[in-house]
Structure formats: C-alpha cells, structure tokens
C-alpha cells in the first residue's frame, strides 16, 4: 500500500467515515491539528547482550551516522550521545537512507546483522515528524538460555497476551450470551481502540495517559452505535441469528477496509512509551510499560468479574445471559441490559486494542488477527458464560505463547485451532459452560 | 472518462474466469450453506486444497499434474473431517468458528518458511500447469470470441473448462437436490431434530454435505490456479470465502441458478465499481467540497468496503437475493 497522503488528510477523512461516533469531538480536533516544519530522523544504536536468556540493552556512544537521500546525496550526519541516540534533521518527509559507520563502533561490538548497515526510510513511514531508526549491536539469539528460563519468559509473555485476549473477548462472550449473536466484527472493535489511540496520541499529540480514558469511552460509544444502528434493528425485524452472524461478517469486512482506507496498510507505533528498556526480574525480562498494562488489565478483569458477581446490573446481565425470556418476565429491561453489554464490551475491546497497540504496533488488522484467539478463548471458557471468556482467553494466551517454544513463530497461532478442536470434542460446553443437549 | 471501456470490462467480467471460479466455489458453498444450513466459513481453505494439490505435484511429489486432483481430494477429505468431526454435532456457529480458524491456519502453514519444501512458502508454486496448457486447442497468441467477450487463447481455454465444470456441477447439484439425499439435507436445514426422529443419521449427512461442497470448492481453487499458472497462499485468505458468500447471497441461496448467476453479477458489479473508481481517480483524487475523498491507492479498500456493505444490506433487506425464495432463507440455527 503506497499511501502518499499526509497523515493529516487521512484523519480528516476519518472524520467523514466515522461521523457516527462522536462527530463533534472529531471535527474539533481534526481542524486543530497543525503542520510542523521540522522533520528529523532519530537514530538509536543499542548494544543488546543476553545473559541467562535475559536481554539487556545498553546505548552505544560515539557511533557516526549519516543520512543521505535515496539517490545518495548527503543530508546530514551526527554522532550518538550518551543515550545512544542522535537526531538528524531532514528538510522534508521523503525517502532517505540511514548509514551506520562500522569503523566507529567501539571495539568488541558488532552489529547483530552485519549486512544491515543501512536502513531505508520510505517517504510514507514518517508517521510523525520524527522517524525512529534503531540499530542493534551484540548477539541476538537466545539459544544459550536454559530451558527453564525460556519457559518462564514465555509464561510471562503468555500471561500478558492472555490478559489482552481476555479483556478483548469479555464483550464478545457477553454479547453472545445476552443476544445470541456471534459477532465476527468484534475484532474491528479492538482495532478501533488501537486506531483511536494512534489518532489521539500520535496525530494530535495528546499524552497517552489522558488519551486512554477517551479511547475507552469512545470504544464504548462505538459498541453502542453498532448495536443501535445495526443489531438492535435486526433483532426488531426478527432476523435470524445466522443471518445476523452473516451481517456481522459483512460489517467486519466493511470496517476493516474503512480502517485500511484511512490508516493505510502499514503498522505504526504509538508515540508515548514506545521506547522502553526491558528490566530483569530473575529470569524474566519485561518493560515497565508491559508490566503496567498487565497490571491494569488484571485489575480491569477482576473489576469486571466483581461487577458481574455483586452489582445489581451485573446480576441482571447474568440473568439475561442465562435466559432472556425469564429475565424479561421478572422485570429486567433486557434491551437496556443489552445496551450496557455492548457499551462495556466495546470499551473493554478498545482498551485491549490500546494495550495491544502499545505491546505490538497499531495496524488495520490488529483486531482481526486476534479474533480467532478470542473465539478459541471463549469456546474454551464456555460460549456465552460470563466468566468463561476471562478464564478461556487467559489460558489461550498462555498456551499460544508456550507453544511457540516448540512451534515456529509464524505458526504460533496454530495450536489455538487444536485447542478449539480438542475442547469441542471433549467438552463442547467449555470449562465453565453449562451442559447443553448435544445432538 | 472512458465509459465504453468500463462497460466492456464489466460485460467481459460476466463470463470471465473470475466469475467461473467463484461460481464453482459458490456451488460448493450452496450445498453446505444453502441446502444443509452449514456455516462453512473456510471455503477458501478447500479451494487452497485444490490449488496446492496441483502445486505439490511439481513442487514435492514430482509426478504428472493430473495426480493433483487425487492429492487435492485427499486434502479435502482430511480438512473436512478435521473441521467436521468436532463441530457438526454442535450448534451451527461452532462450525463457523472452527472453519474460519482452520482456513487461517491452512494459509499460515502453506506460506510458512518451515514447510517451504512442500508448499513453496509465500512465493507459492509456479511450474505445474504445462500438461493443461498442452491440452489447449487454442493458439495462445490468438484472440477468441467477439468484443467485448474477447479473451486470449489460454484464458479462453481455462474459461471454457471452468464454465464446463460449472455446468457439470450445477447439473449434478440440481439432480442431487431432487434425490432423496437432497430432501434429507434440506430437511436438516429446516429441523434437525425432526430428521433425527425419523431415524436418519444427521451427523453423517452433514459430513457428506460438507465434503461434497468442499470437493466442488477444490475444483474452484484448481481452475483459479490453472488460470494464473501459479499457486499463491494469499489468494486463499479468509475474506475470499466471504466474497463467495456475498456472491451466493446476491444470486439467491439454495437455488442452483442463484449460485451461478450470483458470482457473475458479483464480478460484473465489482469490475464496474473498480474500473469506475480508477477512472475517477486517475488524474487527481476524487473530491467533494474540497475534501480529498478517494485517492488512487484507496480504490481497493473502497471496493471491499462496498462489498461488506452490500453483504450487510442484502442479508437485512433481501436475504433471498435475486432468485431465492424467502422461505428457504429463514435460517435460525438454534
């Protein structure tokens, strides 16, 4: 996707396609965004050493870096400072070549990939005015780490992934429970969170800590809108669940391509907290950012569980999940409960998208890549069961990461399919689901 | 704007190879989704079985191309059993979840570096279609047909073979659905429990339907691979299934003519919209009131957005498509 429009134009376009959601907020900030004239390339040289499977990164000082245009004429050069970083200003957003001078590397330090002394920067990879490039020195492969440490590291990664999957899939499961809809567009709700976070943080420069609550709230509104504009109407028309499912597939295709239309096909990092140094705790290395998101996820999940267990609304949600007709006849406003579930589901999905965007990067397919893990999770936990999604998503994350010890990385989602199949053969109602008649 | 050219391309797409392979995939999906009520969201994986059946003859086995049909059949049966055994006893949406997952995994496996030896990785496989080319009675350099339905020699050959297969399978499905077997699967769609109470083995019928539909899907993948002369993993992404589904719903579910005419209309509309938007944005972005609405590079996503929207609108306002009957589209699945 060779998208040469400037970021600003793209996001003014978003304004048009997503008017449904908080049109006023969008319009305001879209116009307020200013173009800056200073562009720079931020080059970072890091020496990565691995002891007992723990990667530590140290800045490399005094390396000379030069930037040339794509045709080879010099643009600027500089020498890395104490934090291993050098900022080189460039005249415009354009394609550049960044070269590292190997001779200036300190003795005993080599690039991990010796052939990669040059980084190519595409014109449209300037998401902000400062484009980051990192060169890694030192040895990269973690083969030396003992098996136990690798397992522990994977376990920790798995817990993080599991928490994100659990957060994202709570809504999927609750929506299924209360309305019977298998929502294939739920992945796009996750992506929505990531993209809104990108829009606020990178394009408007709102600090992420302020942007985060906004992202979550807008995610909830997005969920509400999806219900109000589409699925509530379908229920009213008495359209069958299978047809609703197919509609959600159409919605997923439409939204995903809307994102692609706006955002382009590349993945991009958020601005805040994107450069982090991993800290070591025994055999485990984790960045403070990842630790924080994991803790927040955990708190959110516990809060959701407590809410469902203790609060009046939570009990009503579980009642509707259990038997909508019975719940309705006891005086519970089912439509209101369904709206609450869509709002909460959308908000949690957006939060998951935000964390996923911090963890990996933001891209138009980030949610649709997760949906299949979410389905595996809620099936494992019990389709429609309120707590099933929490437990199942969590377990799937751990299993997928642990599996990558034996399965090649590109196939690491494959074990989720086998989990899915085994669960359906052995215990189709899932861990926490209620046994139903199975024909 | 070159209206004549756009219209010519649109008409030509009605009978083009894309419509033919979509029609084959849709005929297969129609058996599963339309007649039996199975939500197979992994038709792309069955198509990949066919394409890779051909591809592996040259890539791995080193045997003649025609063995590919046999290899493809083996793949289809394995895949059908893999997704069918755990799900066909359960509610309809489990099959949807498992097939979509399976299709994604199939794509990841065939494009992986790990299995490059067998499937050619993300580059795919190229050299397998010689036997088929040699059979072509047409001059590869020549032009056949009358404008706008004019195709080069080799395309003409695949188009003829493709549409012959469409005719063959259409006839087969038509007869099949008039047979006792067809009546049983349609009854399963309407009321599974009733069929079971008549002593029929519902599970077995569903499995047969899944695999028969998969086999027809396999031929779709084969025609596509033969036309392109190559097998590429990313041609079998999960969205392909949904486009086929859209085409099928457009034509009319549970109708043989719906599964043939639907893909033709789908491609005509797609080609028209694609050509039109490309012409519109050829020189400068399409603008309304000064807003750059569509750039040249955004034509692709806009088209697919329209497909998604089309699927939603069809399912909501005209689930029976052009030829279908509303009674046969009253799927509930619970």
pLDDT in tens, B13-23: 999 999 999 99
Residues A193 and A349: their CA atoms lie apart, in Å, by 7
Q: Indicate if the pLDDT at residue B309 is higher than 90.
A: yes
pLDDT of A76 reads 78
Reported residue count of chain B is 334
User: What's the rounded mean pLDDT across residues B60-81?
Assistant: 92
- Could you tell me the pLDDT band of residue A116, with boundaries at 50, 70 and 90? low
- Could you tell me the pLDDT band of residue B290, with boundaries at 50, 70 and 90? low
Closest to A303 (Cα-Cα) out of A338, A357, A350, A348: A348
A253: chain B residues, CB-CB within 8 Å: 239, 242, 304-305, 307-308, 311
pLDDT of A33 reads 32
Chain pair A-B, CB pairs under 8 angstroms: 165
Contact with chain B for residue A12, Cβ under 8 A: yes
Q: Between vectors from CA A369 to CA A308 and to CA A210, what angle results, nearest 5°?
A: 60
Nearest chain A CA: its distance from B184 CA (Å): 17
A424: chain B residues, CB-CB within 8 Å: 86-87, 90, 94, 98
Query: What is the SS3 assignment for A129?
Result: coil
Question: Class for domain B3-329, per CATH?
Answer: mainly alpha
Contact with chain B for residue A439, Cβ under 8 A: yes
**Residue listed under structure tokens 């859209």:** B246
Nearest chain B CA: its distance from A199 CA (Å): 19
Q: Indicate if the pLDDT at residue B211 is higher than 50.
A: yes
* pTM of the shown model: 0.80
Q: Indicate if the pLDDT at residue A32 is higher than 70.
A: no
Task: Output the CA–CA distances (angstroms, integers) from residue B117 to A81, B35, B44, B76, in the order listed.
Answer: 47, 39, 22, 21
Contact with chain A for residue B253, Cβ under 8 A: no
Q: Does the beta-carbon distance from B291 to A13 stay under 8 Å?
A: yes
Percentage of residues of chain A with pLDDT beyond 90:
36
A407: nearest CA in chain B? B114
What would the pLDDT profile of A389-426 be if each residue is shown by its tens digit?
A: 889 999 999 999 998 888 887 888 888 888 888 888 88
Q: Does the beta-carbon distance from A439 to B89 stay under 8 Å?
A: yes
pLDDT of B334 reads 38
Residues B172 and B167: their CA atoms lie apart, in Å, by 9
- Could you tell me the pLDDT band of residue A123, with boundaries at 50, 70 and 90? low
Higher per-residue pLDDT: A54 or A384: A384
Question: In which element (H, E) is residue A358 found?
Answer: helix A334-359
Task: Output the CA–CA distances (angstroms, integers) from residue B36 to A413, B219, B224, in the order listed.
Answer: 30, 20, 26
A377: nearest CA in chain B? B97
Contact with chain B for residue A425, Cβ under 8 A: yes
User: What's the rounded mean pLDDT across residues A305-310?
Assistant: 92
User: What's the rounded mean pLDDT across residues B40-56?
Assistant: 94
Contact with chain A for residue B207, Cβ under 8 A: no
Query: Mutate which of A247, A253, A382 to disrupt the B interface (most B C-beta within 10 Å)?
Result: A253
Percentage of residues of chain A with pLDDT beyond 70:
82
Displacement of CA B280 from its chain's centroid (Å): 29
Residues A393 and A416: their CA atoms lie apart, in Å, by 11
What would the pLDDT profile of A219-267 be if each residue is shown by its tens digit?
A: 999 999 999 999 999 999 888 888 899 999 999 999 999 999 989 888 8
A257: chain B residues, CB-CB within 8 Å: 301-302, 304-305, 308
pLDDT of B250 reads 94
Contact with chain B for residue A438, Cβ under 8 A: yes
pLDDT of B330 reads 55
- Residues 212 to 241 of A: which have CB under 8 A from any B CB? 230, 233-234, 237, 239-241
A425: chain B residues, CB-CB within 8 Å: 85-86
Q: Which residues contact B205 (CB under 8 A, 6 or more apart)?
A: B36, B181, B184, B185, B188, B195
- Of the listed ranges A131-135, A301-305, A306-310, B32-36, the least confidently predicted one is A131-135
- Could you tell me the pLDDT band of residue A22, with boundaries at 50, 70 and 90? very low
- Residues 36 to 65 of B: which have CB under 8 A from any A CB? 37, 39, 41
- Could you tell me the pLDDT band of residue A139, with boundaries at 50, 70 and 90? low
Q: Indicate if the pLDDT at residue A16 is higher than 50.
A: no
Nearest chain A CA: its distance from B141 CA (Å): 33
B36: chain A residues, CB-CB within 8 Å: none
Q: Indicate if the pLDDT at residue A5 is higher than 60.
A: no
- Of the listed ranges A360-374, B139-153, B283-297, the least confidently predicted one is B283-297
- Could you tell me the pLDDT band of residue B166, with boundaries at 50, 70 and 90? very high
Higher per-residue pLDDT: A50 or A396: A396
A374: nearest CA in chain B? B97
Q: Indicate if the pLDDT at residue A375 is higher than 50.
A: yes
pLDDT of A303 reads 94
Question: In which element (H, E) is residue A416 found?
Answer: helix A414-426
A242: chain B residues, CB-CB within 8 Å: 37, 39, 92-93, 331-333
Partner-chain residue, chosen from A2, A5, A254, that has the shortest CB–CB distance to B308: A254
Contact with chain B for residue A82, Cβ under 8 A: no
Closest to B25 (Cα-Cα) out of B317, B245, B269: B245
Residues B37 and B192: their CA atoms lie apart, in Å, by 10
Q: Indicate if the pLDDT at residue A216 is higher than 70.
A: yes
B102: nearest CA in chain A? A417
Q: Between vectors from CA B210 to CA B205 and to CA B211, what angle results, nearest 5°?
A: 100
Residues B59 and B218: their CA atoms lie apart, in Å, by 18
Partner-chain residue, chosen from A375, A408, A439, that has the shortest CB–CB distance to B202: A439
Which DSSP symbol is given to A68? E
- Could you tell me the pLDDT band of residue A387, with boundaries at 50, 70 and 90? confident
A252: chain B residues, CB-CB within 8 Å: 308
- Of the listed ranges B90-104, B136-150, B278-292, B299-313, the least confidently predicted one is B278-292
pLDDT of B249 reads 93
Q: Does the beta-carbon distance from A417 to B239 stay under 8 Å?
A: no
User: What's the rounded mean pLDDT across residues B65-92?
Assistant: 92
User: What's the rounded mean pLDDT across residues B207-227?
Assistant: 96
pLDDT of B83 reads 94
Residues A178 and A171: their CA atoms lie apart, in Å, by 10
- Of the listed ranges A19-28, A391-400, B110-119, the least confidently predicted one is A19-28
Domains of chain A: 41-137 (2.60.40.10), 147-426 (1.10.3470)
Residues A322 and A325: their CA atoms lie apart, in Å, by 9
Contact with chain A for residue B118, Cβ under 8 A: no
- Residues 119 to 178 of B: which have CB under 8 A from any A CB? none
Residues B238 and A364: their CA atoms lie apart, in Å, by 16
A410: chain B residues, CB-CB within 8 Å: 108, 112-114
Q: Identify whether the C-beta of residue A76 lies closer than 8 Å to the C-beta of residue A88.
A: yes
A45 - beta bridge partners?
Answer: A135
Q: Indicate if the pLDDT at residue A108 is higher than 70.
A: no
Query: Mutate which of A124, A249, A396 to disrupt the B interface (most B C-beta within 10 Å)?
Result: A249
User: What's the rounded mean pLDDT across residues A49-75?
Assistant: 71
Q: Does the beta-carbon distance from B297 to A2 stay under 8 Å?
A: yes
A371: nearest CA in chain B? B101
A245: chain B residues, CB-CB within 8 Å: 39, 93, 96, 333
Q: Does the beta-carbon distance from B39 to A242 stay under 8 Å?
A: yes
Q: Identify whether the C-beta of residue B85 lies closer than 8 Å to the C-beta of residue B75.
A: no
Residues A135 and A117: their CA atoms lie apart, in Å, by 8
Q: Indicate if the pLDDT at residue B169 is higher than 50.
A: yes
What would the pLDDT profile of A327-368 be if each residue is shown by its tens digit?
A: 989 999 999 999 999 999 999 999 999 999 998 889 999 999
Q: Indicate if the pLDDT at residue A121 is higher than 80.
A: no
Query: Mutate which of B299, B315, B319, B320 to disrupt the A interface (most A C-beta within 10 Å)?
Result: B315
How many other CB atoms are found less than 10 A from the CB of residue A19? 12
Q: Identify whether the C-beta of residue A65 lies closer than 8 Å to the C-beta of residue A105.
A: no
User: What's the rounded mean pLDDT across residues B206-226?
Assistant: 96
Q: Between vectors from CA B99 to CA B320 and to CA A387, what angle results, nearest 5°?
A: 100
pLDDT of A412 reads 82
- Could you tell me the pLDDT band of residue A185, with boundaries at 50, 70 and 90? very high
Q: What is the average pLDDT value for chain A, to the nearest integer?
A: 81
Half-sphere exposure of A366 (CA within 13 A, CB side): 34
Partner-chain residue, chosen from B37, B102, B202, that has the shortest CB–CB distance to A417: B102
Q: What's the complex ipTM?
A: 0.91
Q: Indicate if the pLDDT at residue A140 is higher than 70.
A: no
- Could you tell me the pLDDT band of residue B201, with boundaries at 50, 70 and 90? very high
């Amino acid at each position: 996707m060779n998208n040469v429009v400037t970021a600003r134009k793209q996001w003014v376009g978003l304004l048009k396609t997503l008017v449904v959601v908080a049109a006023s907020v969008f319009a305001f900030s879209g116009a307020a965004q200013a173009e800056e004239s200073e562009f720079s390339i931020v080059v970072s040289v890091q020496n990565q050493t691995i002891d007992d499977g723990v990667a530590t990164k140290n800045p490399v000082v005094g390396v000379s870096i030069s930037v040339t245009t794509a045709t080879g004429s010099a643009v600027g050069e500089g020498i890395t400072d104490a934090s291993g970083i050098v900022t080189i200003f460039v005249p415009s957003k354009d394609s550049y070549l960044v070269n590292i001078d190997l001779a200036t590397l300190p003795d005993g330090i080599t690039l991990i990939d010796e052939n990669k002394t040059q980084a190519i920067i595409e014109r449209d990879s300037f998401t902000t005015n400062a484009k980051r490039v990192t060169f890694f020195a030192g040895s990269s492969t973690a083969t030396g780490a003992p098996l136990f440490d690798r397992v522990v590291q994977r376990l920790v990664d798995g817990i993080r992934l599991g928490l994100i999957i659990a957060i994202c899939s709570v809504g999927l499961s609750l929506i299924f429970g209360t309305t019977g809809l298998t929502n294939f567009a739920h992945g796009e709700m996750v992506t929505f969170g990531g993209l809104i976070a990108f829009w606020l943080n990178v394009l408007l420069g709102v600090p992420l800590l302020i942007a985060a609550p906004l992202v979550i709230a807008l995610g909830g509104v997005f969920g509400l809108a999806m219900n109000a504009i589409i699925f509530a109407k379908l229920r009213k028309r008495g359209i069958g669940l299978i047809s609703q499912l197919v509609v959600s597939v159409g919605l997923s295709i439409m939204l995903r391509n809307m994102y692609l239309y706006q955002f382009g096909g590349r993945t991009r990092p958020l601005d805040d907290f994107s450069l982090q140094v991993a800290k070591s705790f025994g055999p485990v290395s984790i960045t403070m950012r990842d630790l924080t998101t994991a803790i927040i996820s955990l708190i959110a999940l516990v809060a959701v569980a407590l809410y469902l267990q203790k609060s009046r609304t939570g009990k009503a949600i579980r009642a509707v999940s259990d038997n909508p007709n019975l719940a309705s006849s006891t005086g519970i406003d089912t439509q209101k409960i369904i709206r609450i579930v869509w709002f909460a589901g959308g908000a949690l999905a957006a939060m998951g998208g935000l964390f996923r965007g911090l963890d990996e990067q933001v891209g138009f397919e980030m949610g649709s890549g997760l949906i299949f893990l979410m389905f595996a999770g809620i099936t494992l936990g019990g389709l429609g069961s309120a707590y099933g999604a929490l437990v199942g998503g969590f377990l799937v994350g751990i299993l997928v990461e642990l599996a990558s010890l034996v399965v090649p990385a590109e196939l690491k989602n494959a074990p989720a399919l086998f989990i899915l199949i085994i669960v359906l053969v052995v215990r189709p109602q899932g861990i926490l689901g209620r046994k139903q008649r199975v024909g | 704007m070159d209206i004549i050219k756009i219209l010519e391309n649109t008409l030509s797409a009605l009978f083009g190879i894309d419509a033919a392979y979509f029609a084959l995939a849709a005929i297969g999906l129609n058996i599963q989704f339309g007649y039996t009520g199975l939500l197979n969201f992994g038709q792309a994986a069955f198509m990949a079985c066919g394409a890779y059946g051909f591809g592996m003859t040259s890539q791995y086995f080193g045997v003649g191309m025609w063995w590919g049909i046999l290899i493809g059949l083996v793949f289809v049966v394995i895949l059908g059993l893999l997704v069918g055994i755990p799900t066909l006893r359960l509610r309809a949406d489990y099959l949807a979840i498992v097939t979509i997952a399976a299709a994604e995994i199939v794509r990841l496996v065939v494009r992986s570096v790990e299995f490059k030896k067998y499937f050619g990785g993300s580059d795919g496989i190229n050299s397998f279609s010689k036997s088929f080319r040699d059979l072509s009675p047409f001059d590869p350099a020549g032009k056949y047909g009358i404008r706008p339905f004019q195709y080069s020699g080799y395309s003409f050959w695949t188009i003829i073979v493709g549409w012959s297969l469409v005719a063959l399978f259409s006839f087969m499905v038509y007869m099949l659905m008039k047979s006792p077997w067809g009546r049983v699967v349609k009854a399963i769609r309407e009321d599974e429990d009733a069929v079971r109470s008549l002593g029929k083995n519902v599970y077995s019928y569903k499995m047969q339907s899944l695999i028969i539909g998969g086999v027809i899907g396999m031929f779709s993948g084969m025609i596509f691979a033969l036309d392109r002369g190559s097998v590429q993993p990313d041609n079998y992404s999960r969205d392909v299934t949904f486009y086929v589904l859209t085409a099928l719903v457009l034509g009319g579910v549970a109708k043989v003519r719906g599964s043939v005419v639907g893909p033709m209309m789908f491609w005509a509309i797609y080609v028209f919209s694609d050509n039109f938007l490309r012409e519109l944005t050829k020189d400068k972005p399409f603008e309304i009131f000064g807003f750059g609405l569509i750039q040249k590079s955004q034509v692709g996503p806009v088209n697919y957005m329209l497909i998604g929207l089309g699927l939603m609108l069809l399912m909501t306002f005209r689930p029976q498509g052009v030829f279908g009957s509303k009674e046969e589209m009253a799927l509930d699945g619970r």
